[in-house]
Homo-oligomer: A and B are copies of this chain.
Amino acid sequence: MRADYQPLRPQKPLLVNRDSETPPASFKIKDVTIGDGSPVIIAGPCSIESADQIDKIARFISRSGAKILRGGAFKPRTSPYSFQGLREEGLTLFSEIAERYNLVTITEVPDTNKVDLVYQYTDIFQVGSRNMQNFELLKAIGETDKHVLLKRGFMSTLEELLLAAEHIASKGNERIILCERGIRTFEKWTRNTLDISAVPILKNTSRLPVIVDISHSTGRRDIALPIARASLAAGADGLMIEVHNNPDAALSDSRQQLSFDQFSELMQGIEPFLKQARQN
């Protein structure tokens, strides 16, 4: 079958694109492999809030089968008067506790001047949705050797996402993981509209692994399970999920984080999809 819509017609072949000579990429980070056909689960709180909070969450998700711990130390917030994150203190906690449970870590690097700092504390950089076209940041990350998860801008096209990835790759770092996290539309019953078609299109066009952030895309706990199943059925290499020991008391995004019970239920519900993939 062939694509019918505007294909990517770059001025030169993109490094991030798939062709006969560049097979799909998979990355081994400590004990975890992303992009080998067996989906990975990235879980954790929206924000790093305290040692106790991170320890509880890290222990719980590692027992439930998640391999990668997420959590934000620098929180980009719409209002300057909202909680801005624990910053370096948060990074230290995060890194120590993840090691305790043998979890790979991912956290957001908010700015070029934080690249060196965050580099020391995390296994994977995250570039947030609002920074997808922060080209100075992309280039700075491109000059490191660290894996990076690049979130799609919530108002960016797939072409723009691939060109943002190319900004990183063109500086020498091709350890890039793409992340669909929903786009801004007129629909009001979800926080964003998850663009499920992005998964197979990105998989077909680029050679990079593709993760779906099921929390920011919909902003709704009540449909987390069917959306997780749909994402895996569409071919995603993994899911990113917000989990909190006490969602209602969370300092950010309290409405979309799953409780421990909800996360267990979700992990059970997607088990057939994880197994199936392993057998393929």
Contacts and interface: CB of A to CB of B under 8 A. Distances in A.
A219 interface: yes
Given A137-B111, A232-B233, A223 B194 contact: no
Interface residues of A, number: 84
A193 B184 contact: no
Most buried by B among A82, A136, A157, A221: A136
A230 B232 CA distance: 8
Contacts of A186: 155, 157, 183-186
Contact of A189 (B6, B79, B131): B6
B189 A193 contact: no
Interface stretch (A29-37, A65-73, A197-205): A197-205
Contacts of A222: 1-4, 200, 204
B76 A135 contact: yes
Nearest to A164: B78
Contact of A4 (B166, B194, B204, B220): B220
Interface of A: 1-6, 10-12, 74, 76-82, 110-114, 130-131, 133-137, 153-160, 163, 166-167, 170, 183-191, 193-197, 199-201, 204, 217-227, 229-235, 255-256, 258, 262, 272-273, 276
16 contacts: A4-B219, A5-B188, A6-B189, A11-B82, A12-B81, A76-B133, A155-B156, A157-B188, A183-B185, A185-B186, A186-B186, A190-B201, A194-B196, A200-B223, A227-B234, A230-B231
